[in-house]
Each structure stands twice: as structure tokens, then as C-alpha cells.
Amino acid sequence: MTDKTRAWRILIALVAAAGPILQYGLMAYDETLATLPAKTVEFFSYFTILSNTLAAIALAAPLVAPESRLALWSEQAGPRAAIATYLAITAVVYHTMLAHTWDPHGLRLAATTLNHTITPAAFLVDLALRGGQGEARWIAALKSMAFPALFGAWTLAHGAATGFYPYPFMDVAKRGYPAVLVTIVQMGVAFALVCLIFVALLRVRSRAALTLKPSAL
């Protein structure tokens, strides 16, 4: 790994971690010791936070503990395609469905921009530049649905117990279970389709690299 490559990887790992950390700090600032635990659970009930945290862990693990199982997993093409999918959908959903619902300023704007724009863009650039280790297999698209499926199940369970729903389109109290369940299924399909696109791009990238390699010798 060259110094420039390492510097780039450290930079995007820090960027990916900065968004959730800043967002949590802003939330915790307004809470008391009595309310902080419940708000912390709510904080980690946002898919945005989960996707950005997963990206930060996946980017940092190979730098901190390169021989660990987590690091080896996070460098594989399939997991990287899945994480790119989560971040891409996070960015698209926010900018098309949620951004107009509020008007953040200052540090809140900084945290929002990191989580919904900068980190997704940085990870996609990193995916394009470095690809992933091993073959990008089509089954990765099916596997990528597990994370959002668990998120959907958690959201419904947590919402039934507390009445808290992180996003309007998942609010059972306002939309009802049938509509929300349809939305969850639709989003699951969307995750799989987007992941298929990233897998296809990684396969093309890998084949192009193999084709160009002999001419570079």
C-alpha cells in the first residue's frame, strides 16, 4: 500500500466515522442522563446511522487490524458492493424524500451532509478506485437484503413497543401495517437491484483489469 493510498483510506474512514459521531454528539447535548439511553436506542434506529457506521467500521478495520476476520470480510467484493448499496440508497432516499422536510444549519447541516452526501460519495469513489478482493458474485445481491430486512423487523418491533418510527414511510401509526409492509418489501427489492448493479460494475472492472494487465508488463 502506497503512502497516498493509505492517506486516502485513512481520510475516508475518518469522514465515515465523523458523521455518526457528530450527529450523536448533537443529540446527546440536548439530553439528560435519564433520557439519553432511550434516545441512544432511537439514534441507532436510523438506517442512515447504521449504514454510515457500517461503512466506517469496514473502512477502518483493514487499517487497524488488517489480519482480522472483520478486515478480511470488509475488503471482499461482495460486502463492499452491499455497503455501497446501503449508502447509495441512504443518499437517494434522503435527497428525494426527506431533505425538504427540514432545514438544518451549522453543525447539524455538517452532520447531515457527511452522513447523506459526503460519506456515500467517498465510499463509491473508493469502490471505483479499489474494487474489492475476490470475485463479485451475483449472490451478494440476495445477501445484501439481510441487513435492511433486519432493520425493517427492528423498526416494526421497536415502533410497536415505543411508538417511535425513524421515517415517515415506516410510520405504522399513520400508514398502517399493510402499507408499511409493502414499502419494506419494495425497498428490499430496490436494495437487491442496486446491489446487482454494483456487482455487475465490479465484475466489469475486474475483467478490464485482467485484460489490461498483460499490456502493462
Helix (H, G, I), strand (E, B) or coil at 134: coil
Helix (H, G, I), strand (E, B) or coil at 144: coil
**Helical spans, DSSP H, in 116-176:** 119-130, 139-143, 146-162, 172-175
Confidence of residue 213 (pLDDT cuts 50, 70, 90): low
H or E element, residue 69: helix 69-74
Question: What digits encode the pLDDT tens for the residues 121-164?
Answer: 999 999 999 999 998 999 999 999 999 999 999 999 999 999 99
> Contact at 8 Å (CB) between 30 and 111?
no
Is residue 122 classed exposed, middle or buried when 0-12, 13-18 and 19+ CB atoms within 10 A define those classes? buried
CA dist., res. 114 & res. 24, Å (int): 13
The pLDDT of residue 210 is above 80: no
The pLDDT of residue 215 is above 50: no
CA dist., res. 123 & res. 138, Å (int): 20
The pLDDT of residue 214 is above 60: no
Average the pLDDT over each of 33-37, 96-100, 179-183, 189-193 and give the range with the smallest value: 33-37
Question: 487497524: which residue's cell?
Answer: 64
CA dist., res. 66 & res. 73, Å (int): 10
- Rounded to 5 degrees, what angle do the CA atoms 62, 77, 128 make? 90
Mean pLDDT, all residues of the chain:
92
Question: What digits encode the pLDDT tens for the residues 189-201?
Answer: 999 999 999 999 9
Extract the C-alpha cell encoding 203.
465484475
The pLDDT of residue 217 is above 60: no
- Please state the φ and ψ torsions of residue 47, each to the nearest 5 degrees: -60, -35
Domain boundaries, the chain: 3-216
74 CB contacts (<8 Å, ≥6 apart)? Answer: 57, 58, 59, 61, 62, 80, 83
Cβ neighbours, 10 Å, residue 150: 11
